[in-house]
């Protein structure tokens, strides 16, 4: 098992290095195509099968649980769409905070025993926000324009460097006490510093779309798919991935169609990148709670 995990992350490192090279060698148009393919395939797929995951985690009345979860799930997504349209800055702020927590939890949940503790939750949040603000700061002009298009508010450059430093310091401060009671977390210190350097290189060389796609697909979506398949089928391999994909396909297709509907409805008032991030935000909200339940079960 340890060898498989090591090989898995070696593949991710190799693909990330290839991503850095691709951002230098390929045209912007081609990297956009590849980035969107990654986001619309693995990126959307990893969060589109939440209802099946909920159904499988339930012990009794799976059909009733499914319909209850379906209406709750759709209600959360639609509510967030309404909030994003009505108070976009508040919705964007909520998305950044919840996504930060979710990214951090996905990255470290296997290395923290009591991952529901306040200290662990704060660490997940701080680390995830560190990743996001590292991406934001190294693609500052594009990010400020996207936020302005989404919310009508132009943020100051200084806000991003202050936030980046805050989350760097807080991540380190929270890591120290957690590592004292989690041996695997302590052992991962060097490799995680390497990961941060690797992410910084990606974010520095690539534009905001390529940077986000590289992290979101390789370092969040694919590991999340691995965890879901391990939980549902016992082991992560290609045949079980096909089983997962067959179950997820209707939800994945519905998500893609939903994205195109959102783009069509708001194409005259927002640019495509703003709509893309807004849509990802809408489907991320319920997914965060599903994955937290899955991690707690395991």
What average pLDDT does the chain have? 84
Does the pLDDT value for residue 53 go beyond 80? no
Question: E strands within the chain?
Answer: none
User: Distance between CA atoms of 267 and 214, rounded to whole angstroms?
Assistant: 26
Residues 136-195 pLDDT 10s = 999 999 999 988 887 888 999 999 999 999 999 999 999 999 999 999 999 999 999 999
More confidently predicted of 291 and 202: 202
Is the pLDDT assigned to residue 289 strictly greater than 90? Answer: no
User: Which range, 4-13, 91-100, 220-229, 286-295, is most confident?
Assistant: 220-229
- Report the distance separating Cα 113 and Cα 182, nearest Å: 7
Of the candidates 35, 44, 105, the residue with the CA atom closest to the CA atom of residue 282? 44
Burial (CB count <10 Å: 0-12, 13-18, 19+), residue 152:
exposed
Contacting residues for 220 by C-beta, under 8 A, at least 6 apart = 46, 102, 103, 106, 107
1: confidence class by pLDDT, cuts 50, 70, 90? very low
Quick one: pLDDT at residue 286? 67
**What pLDDT does residue 43 have?**
86
The per-residue pLDDT for range 59-117, each reduced to its tens digit, is: 555 556 556 656 666 666 667 667 777 787 887 888 889 889 989 999 998 898 877 78
């Amino acid at each position: 098992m340890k060898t498989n995990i090591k090989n898995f992350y070696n593949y991710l490192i190799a693909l990330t290095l290839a991503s850095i090279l691709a951002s230098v060698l390929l045209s912007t148009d081609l990297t956009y195509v590849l980035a969107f393919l990654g986001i619309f395939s693995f990126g959307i797929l990893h969060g589109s099968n939440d209802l099946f995951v909920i159904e499988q985690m339930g012990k009794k009345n799976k059909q009733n649980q499914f319909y209850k979860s379906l209406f709750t799930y759709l209600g959360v997504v639609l509510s967030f769409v309404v909030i994003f349209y009505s108070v976009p800055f508040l919705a964007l702020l909520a998305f950044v905070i919840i996504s930060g927590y979710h990214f951090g939890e996905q990255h470290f949940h296997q290395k923290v025993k009591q991952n529901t503790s306040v200290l662990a939750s704060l660490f997940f949040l701080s680390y995830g926000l560190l990743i996001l603000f590292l991406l934001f700061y190294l693609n500052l002009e594009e990010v400020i324009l996207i936020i302005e298009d989404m919310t009508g508010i132009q943020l100051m450059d200084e806000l991003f460097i202050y936030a980046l430093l805050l989350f760097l310091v807080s991540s380190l401060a929270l890591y120290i006490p957690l590592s004292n009671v989690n041996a695997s977390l302590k052992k991962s210190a060097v490799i995680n510093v390497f990961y941060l350097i690797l992410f910084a290189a990606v974010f520095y060389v690539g534009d905001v779309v390529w940077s986000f796609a590289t992290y979101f697909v390789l370092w969040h979506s694919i590991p999340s798919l691995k965890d879901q398949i391990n939980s549902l089928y016992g082991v992560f391999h290609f045949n079980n991935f096909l089983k997962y994909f067959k179950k997820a396909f209707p939800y994945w297709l519905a998500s893609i169609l939903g994205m195109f509907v959102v783009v069509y409805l708001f194409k005259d008032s927002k640019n495509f990148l703003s709509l893309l991030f807004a849509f990802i935000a809408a489907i991320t909200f319920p997914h965060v709670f599903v994955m937290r339940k899955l991690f707690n079960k395991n």
